[in-house]
Amino acid sequence: MLLVTFHGGTGSDSINTVLAYGTTEPGRLTLLSKSAKGALRHTGGVELSELRGMVLEGGYLYVANGAKATGNVLCFQHQPSEKPYHFAYVATLIGATLSKKNHFETAIAHPFGLAFDGGHCYVSNQDTNVVAQVAVSSNGQSGSLGAGCQSPYLTRLFPPPDGVFLDGTYVASQVGALHGVEVKATSVPSPDGGLDVYPKSGKVQHSVRDVAIANGVLFVCDEPSKVVRMYALADGSYIGSSQTLGGQPTHLAIHNGGLYVVAGALLYWSPLPVSASGAPPAFQAVVVTPPKGNTMGGISFAVGSSVTVYVPFQAGTGGAHGGSIYSYTVKQGSPSTLPVLSGGTLLVRSGASTFKDTPEFLLYVPDLPAG
């Protein structure tokens, strides 16, 4: 089964839910969630808008619910007593806090990417341009932010009271005073690991994007700087960055000891660093040709008799722009050699009977049993 989030928004063509597709028929995707509600059910009155990253963790499906009016990370659970592709709302893991002026007061604002590790969820936030560390409860259904900076590394660099950070900040922004954010946070220079943002003043257009975790390292897409930055999970220390990429990095995926980075119409790969003290990734381009004028979204891998990667192509941004989803066979001599994608197959494209919105993230999960 393949789960798909969409760019969404307020337009009539926006799909503000998750669609589920069956993957058992060769060369095609079969839409399972045929109603407007999609795969997410019983949302308890929580508004869904501009869904982004998805993670299956501890028996729950967590989804970044991006729009400013919502701005939260939601927790869903599979409902085998209904349909094998239904996920019911359980709780809001963490949400944005807005001031009376409708400005963001904590690190959570327009969440994009999610990554879990050791009782914490790391959430990238477009409008505050920071990565937040969320402490997750033992039952996985609620989360909390510490007061101010949660990164020991940033606290050492900028001790209070001079260092001021939004609650929950683990990776900070190069520009601390941002449009629509209540707190004027301390600006952290690029050499110290601060994330770039564009524009420097006014409404944020380009900022932090996806996050991923492996081997004690937190990887973060710094879209404006065209690099992937790395931080030690142990204390948030800045490790360094990749080389400058040919496009702006937005989505990450980890497979077979390698880190994949989507940067516009380009796809890159590097072996993962073996530890936080290992050499930074040296990305190589993976050959994949998007439809003319398209970029890529968040890819996802399926392992069976062969390795398949599902790739969403984006014809625009939200609304009626649409796009398509392709599959490729992944061939790789060893985990340390550059993978080759072959046999690109169009599985589904935007249209009246499929979707009109822009596919954002894909998440492959084994087919779940019905009750």
Strand ranges (E), 233-334: 238-241, 249-255, 258-263, 266-271, 284-286, 295-296, 300-303, 307-314, 323-331
Residues 281, 345, 19, CA angle at the centre, nearest 5°?
85
Collapsing DSSP states into helix, strand and coil, what is residue 171?
strand
Alpha-carbon distance 107 to 103, whole Å? 11
- Is 188 among the domain residues? yes
- Give the helix/strand (H/E) hosting 144: strand 143-144
Tokens read off for 320: 């009626």
Q: Is there a domain that residue 84 lies in?
A: no
Give percent helix, percent strand, percent coil of the chain, each to the nearest 5.
0, 45, 55
211 Cβ neighbours under 8 A, 6+ residues apart: 113, 114, 115, 122, 123, 124, 131, 218, 219, 220, 221, 252
Question: In the 8-state DSSP scheme, what is residue 154?
Answer: H
Q: Which two tokens stand for residue 284?
A: 């190589």
- Residues (pLDDT < 70) of the chain are 35-36, 82, 368-371
Does 279 reside within a domain?
Answer: no
Query: Tokens in use for 240?
Result: 């360094």
How many Å apart are CA 246 and CA 181, to the nearest integer?
Answer: 31
Note whether residue 169 is domain-resident.
yes
Dig out the tokens for 170 from the structure. Answer: 């683990």
Q: Is 226 left (phi over 0), alpha (psi -120 to 50) or beta?
A: left
pLDDT value, residue 152: 97
Query: Residue 370's pLDDT is what?
Result: 57
Q: Is residue 51 in some structural domain?
A: no
Beta pairing class for 40-41 and 87-95: parallel
Residue 44: its pLDDT value, please? 73
Is residue 45 packed enough to be buried (19+ CB in 10 Å), middle (13-18) or exposed (0-12)?
A: exposed
- In angstroms, rounded to a whole number, what is the distance separating the alpha carbons of residues 73 and 95? 6
pLDDT in tens, 288-341: 999 999 999 999 999 987 899 999 999 988 877 899 999 999 999 999 999 999
What span, in angstroms and rounded, lies between the C-alpha atoms of 261 and 41?
31
In one letter, which amino acid is 366? Answer: P
Q: By CB neighbour count within 10 A (0-12 exposed, 13-18 middle, 19+ buried), where does 24 fall?
A: exposed
193 inside domain: yes
Asked if residue 326 lies in contact with residue 311, where contact means CB atoms within 8 angstroms, the answer is yes
Total of domains in the chain: 1
Q: What is the pLDDT of residue 353?
A: 75
101 in a structural domain: yes
Domain of residue 113, residue span: 96-238
Two tokens, residue 342: 């072959």
Q: Are 233 and 212 in contact (CB under 8 A)?
A: no
CA distance 55 to 208: 18
- Per-residue model confidence (pLDDT) at position 369: 60
Q: Report yes or no on 360 lying in a domain.
A: no
Per residue in 17-35, pLDDT (tens digit) is 999 999 988 899 999 887 6
Residue 226: give its domain's CATH number.
2.40.10.500
Q: From CA 321, how far away is CA 14, in angstroms rounded?
A: 10
Answer yes or no: are the C-beta atoms of 41 and 74 closer than 8 Å: no
Structure tokens at 332: 């790789």
